[in-house]
Every structure is written in structure tokens, then in C-alpha cells.
Structure 1
Amino acid sequence: MIGEEIEVLYEIDSTNEFLKKNYKSFHDGAIVVAIKQTAGKGRMGRSWYSPEGGLWYSVLFKPKIHLNLHVYTKIFSIAIIEVLRKLKIKVYIKWPNDIYYSGKKICGILPEAISVNNRVVAIVVGIGLNVNNDIPPELKDIAISLKDILKKKVKITYLLDSINKHAWNLLISYRNETENITKIWKKYLVPREGDKIKVNVNNEIVEGTVLKISEDTLYVDVGGKAIGVQSIHQIID
């Protein structure tokens, strides 16, 4: 189960970094929650603003059967989407793994592998969800919190429990059928296959049609030529 073992820390640099350093001390499914992070991080080493009021936590997995990191990303993306949609919040996954509401980021997911002698011994999945925290003025155009959407505070323990239970059920149901996880993940994705999008290729903005979506690449048809897009920051909103 996820969350049978839980450690809550008031302030820490990063829950992912904490678990990566201390994974031997925790069981499979353990979670570490921070009231606030001083060095929260997102994909590609980017910083993640993590003040008090948000849900900042990491989950540790010590799987007997190795699953690709992308599977964990998809499972938690789906779990978060479906829990928030029960609250009537129409969120979506902005490829590959950010959760957005009305063009603004509300949640990020960061999976990381721990390897010893080139063998993966554990997986850490970090979740950063804006819940009751205030969004600073300089980020209001690109980020939003649940409190701002619902005009009221949300119980963080409810979200933590609901997301983890749903993620665990998805993992148990689909760990031997990861192609089905991908199908569900694609259902909530923006953009989708067949959508027309604008992308930045070698500092030139071009328009094309999404041909195929994988975990780390969007294949876009631009004038009959397939171009691989590998960063969310290449997509022009």
C-alpha cells in the first residue's frame, strides 16, 4: 500500500532528495510529506515554489518487478486528475506530466530512479500540488491553486489520502497492462494526437499536426516532415 508508513517534516529542501538519501530506512510505499520545501524541484532541474499550504510529498517504491519511470508518472497523473475532477475541477495533463487548469499549472510530478551498480533499487515519485498556498504575483499568470479555483480551502489530508489510494489501485490493476495506463493517460492529455499546434524548432515557430505521442517525444507533422519535440517549452500556447 501507499502511505502505510508516513513521515511529516516541517521544512526540508526537497522530499525527493530526502528519500533518495534515506531510502534504505523506509519500506515500499512509504511517503514523506513536507509542510514546506526550500528547494523543491521540477523536471530538468527547474525549481518548484513550495510554501506552506501546498501538498508537497514523495512516494518510495521498492518494486520486485521493474516498471519504467513513465508508468509511475502516468499513474499519479491520472490519479490526481480523477481526484480533482470529482471536486468539479476540470484539470488536464499538459504533455508530458504537468497538471493544468485553464492554462495555468496546478501540479507537477517528478519520478526519479535510485540505482546501485547500474541496477534500479528504488523509485521516488515527487508530487507538488498547489492547494491552499498563495501564488506570488510574479507567478499568477502561469500558476494557480485549488483555493483560487474553488474560492475556499481544501483539506490537504483528504487529497493526500485520495490520490494515494487511487494511484495504488491503478498500479495494482494495470502494472501488467501498462498499455492500458497509456490509453487512460492519453485521454486526459493536451495536446492530443491529431491536434494542430505551434512549436519552436531551432528558434523558428512553425505549425503542424501531432502525429504520435510518446512519454518523452511529440511527433509533429510540419509540411510533410515528422519533427520530434522533446520539451514542453517548445510548445507555443
Structure 2
Amino acid sequence: MPESTFKILEILERSGGPISGETISNELGITRSAVWKQINELRMMGYDISSSQKEGYKLTHTSNKLLPYEIHKKLHTQVIGKKIRYIDSTPSTIGIGKQLCSEGNVEKIHGTVVIAEEQTGGVGRMGRAWVSPRGGIWVTIILKPHIPIDHIFMITMAGSIAVARAIRKEFDLGALIKWPNDIFIGNKKVAGLLLELDAEADTVHYCLLSIGIDVNVQISNFSPAIQKDITSIQAEVGHEVERASLLARILKEFESRFLLIESGEYNAILQEWKSISCTLENQVQIRTLKNTFEGEAVDIDEYGALIIKKPNGKLERVIAGDCYHQ
């Protein structure tokens, strides 16, 4: 799409009122016919723009889509999110991320964020389906991390902290992290994260951090079997919210923690994760591929494993599995 399309949007926003097509064409050095064509493209993207022969064009409502323009207006990062690949609908953003990484130098696309309005084949942990309708935030962040492979798991921790902190700051909701990679409000899940990496030996070629958040999503649209276990930002605050501001804040919060990890400040990430965990100090049931057991979640170690104190006093270290609060 021509850069002048969003230049027109900037002019409309700056004017704060009606502005003639002639004024826009003179400022951008394009024809009035080109202005009219690009105004129509903006309308197709969800922007409400009124027009009259007497007054000209006026922006009456911005788009509610997660368009790069809307995010960049609010973005305050050095790298993360500076490049955005936007897709209206895709099976999964992580699939797009893998494709982009296979096509070129990952260093050059480090920090790129892939955004979709909906995913038709979203995938969660252990290959489970992740329902991703319009109104949510479905993104994958492409990363070329300079982090030892035994601390790559901390990227997920940084992402979890970023999502929880952003929800707290934007909406004053008590979002907490449930081990290993879910975000809860109260006793209901509102978001989840997934980290995939391409590596061999001690070399990490790239990481893909996927984040899914039920923002302006109607819970009634989900199957009855899961409705009681999930919530959305809209359901919690009672009205639709602006997704672009939330995503921009998440990217900023994530970048600051990611840079801490790259500088070796592992303990700072661990301590912050612990401070907003809803799992620690709770009775839980753990289900792994090998067995199921119960106990108290007492700690998380330097490698992200959950430490469970069993009823007999024995400590069990859980690297991977499902955690259910009791």
C-alpha cells in the first residue's frame, strides 16, 4: 500500500476537522484523484471518513483493526515491533513466522511482529487447538536472541510478565501468571504464550514467541465446555477496549525484559515472575506424560522448573506438564 495512504491519514488526524482534497493533494504532491482513491482504501480498512464537496474530508472514526499504522503511533521500543507483518486471516501467525525465517537472514528480521485479525488453525502447548477469533490479539514475535540456550526459556517468562503487566497498567485488572505460560484474571484464563525455537547443539537460529489474548472476544462464542474457564478483557471491564494501545504496551514491556535477559540479569526476571505468579504457594495437581501428583507449588528454579512439595515432604522438580490449581 502506498506510503501516501497513511500520510493522508496523518493529515486527517492532524487537521481535527474537515480538510479539502485539494489541500491534501498539494501537501503530498499527488492528484486529487489519487487522494480520492486512497481515501477509499482507508475506508476499506475500517476508517470512517466523511466527505462533502463544500468541506472536504473528515476522519470521524479510526479503524479498530491492529494495523501497523495504529500500533506504530503508540509504540515506544527500540527494535521489537518496528517491523510488522499484518495479515487479516491466517491458519497461524507462527506459521508465517517460520516462513519468514526460512526466507532470509533472521538477524535482519529480529523483532518483527506478525499480526493476524484471526487464526483459523491456532496452536497452543502440546499441539492443542487455540481458538483465535476476531477481536483478540494473535501475534508472533520473531527473535534472534543472544542468550545461552539453557536460558532461552526465560523469553517465555519475559513475555508472560509483559502481558500481565500491560493488562494491569492498561485496565487496572489483577492479571497473574499461571505456570508455565498462561495469564489469568481471577480463576479464568485470558491469555497464553508459546515459544518455539530452531536450534542445533548450543546454537539458537531463531525463536518464535506467540501470544494469544482474548481481548474484545465474546465468551459465548466459545464451546460450553470451556466457557467457565476463560474470560476476556471486554468481559472484565464491561466494554470493548483499544487493542492497539494494549499491544504497543506489551511490546514495550517485553523488550525491556528481553534486554535484561540478554545482559544476563536472570535473577531480576525470576523475581518479577514470582512476584506476579498465582501458582506459587498454592495447592496444585501436576500432570506430566509419565504421572499425575499433587502438592504445594513452593518455588521456581533458575531453569524455569516448578518445585512441588508433595504431602510426604519430598520435593519434585517439574520441567514440563500441565498445572491445575486446587
The answer to whether TM tops 0.5 is yes
The CA deviation at 1:43 is 1.1
Task: Return the alpha-carbon distance in structure 1 between the equivalents of residues 201 and 153 of structure 2.
Answer: 22
Native 8 Å contact 2:111 2:141 kept in 1? yes
Q: In structure 2, which of residues 149, 153, 156 is the aligned counterpart of residue 70 of structure 1?
A: 153
Per-residue CA deviations over 1:117-159 (Å, capped at 9, x if unaligned) read 8732111100000000222252220111101001111111111
Aligned residue pairs total: 234
Q: In structure 1, which of residues 81, 95, 101 is the aligned counterpart of residue 179 of structure 2?
A: 95
Q: Cα–Cα, structure 1 residues 234 and 107, in superposed 2: closer, same or farther, change >3 Å?
A: closer
Task: Return the alpha-carbon distance in structure 2 between the equivalents of residues 198 and 63 of structure 1.
Answer: 33
Per-residue CA deviations over 1:57-83 (Å, capped at 9, x if unaligned) read 000011244453321111111111111
Aligned residue number for residue 107 of structure 1:
191
Secondary structure, aligned partner of 2:173 = coil
Aligned residue number for residue 18 of structure 2:
none
Give 1 or 2: higher strand fraction. Answer: 1
The CA deviation at 1:114 is 1.6
Structure 1 residues 1-237: aligned runs within 5 Å = 1-23=79-101, 24-25=103-104, 27-66=109-148, 68-86=151-169, 87-115=171-199, 119-135=203-219, 136-138=222-224, 139-175=226-262, 176-192=264-280, 195-199=281-285, 206=294, 208-214=295-301, 215-230=304-319, 233-237=322-326
% of aligned pairs identical? 28
Secondary structure, aligned partner of 1:224 = coil
Q: Cα–Cα, structure 1 residues 234 and 186, in superposed 2: closer, same or farther, change >3 Å?
A: closer
Question: What TM-score, normalized to structure 1?
Answer: 0.89
Task: Return the alpha-carbon distance in structure 2 between the equivalents of residues 63 and 15 of structure 1.
Answer: 19
Q: Cα–Cα, structure 1 residues 115 and 7, in superposed 2: closer, same or farther, change >3 Å?
A: same
**Amino acid of the structure 2 residue aligned with 1:221:** K
Q: Cα–Cα, structure 1 residues 123 and 153, in superposed 2: closer, same or farther, change >3 Å?
A: same
Task: Return the alpha-carbon distance in structure 1 between the equivalents of residues 190 and 234 of structure 2.
Answer: 11
**Amino acid of the structure 2 residue aligned with 1:166:** E
Task: Return the alpha-carbon distance in structure 2 between the equivalents of residues 114 and 17 of structure 1.
Answer: 13
The CA deviation at 1:105 is 0.6
Secondary structure, aligned partner of 1:191 = coil
The CA deviation at 1:186 is 0.8
Native 8 Å contact 1:200 1:234 kept in 2? yes
Task: Return the alpha-carbon distance in structure 2 between the equivalents of residues 230 and 133 of structure 1.
Answer: 32
The CA deviation at 1:224 is 2.3
Give 1 or 2: higher helix fraction. Answer: 2
**Amino acid of the structure 1 residue aligned with 2:259:** I
Structure 1: stretches of 5+ with no match in the other structure:
none
Structure with max Cα Rg: 2
Task: Return the alpha-carbon distance in structure 1 between the equivalents of residues 200 and 318 of structure 2.
Answer: 31
Native 8 Å contact 1:212 1:220 kept in 2? no
Question: What TM-score, normalized to structure 2?
Answer: 0.66
**Amino acid of the structure 2 residue aligned with 1:165:** K
Secondary structure, aligned partner of 2:310 = strand
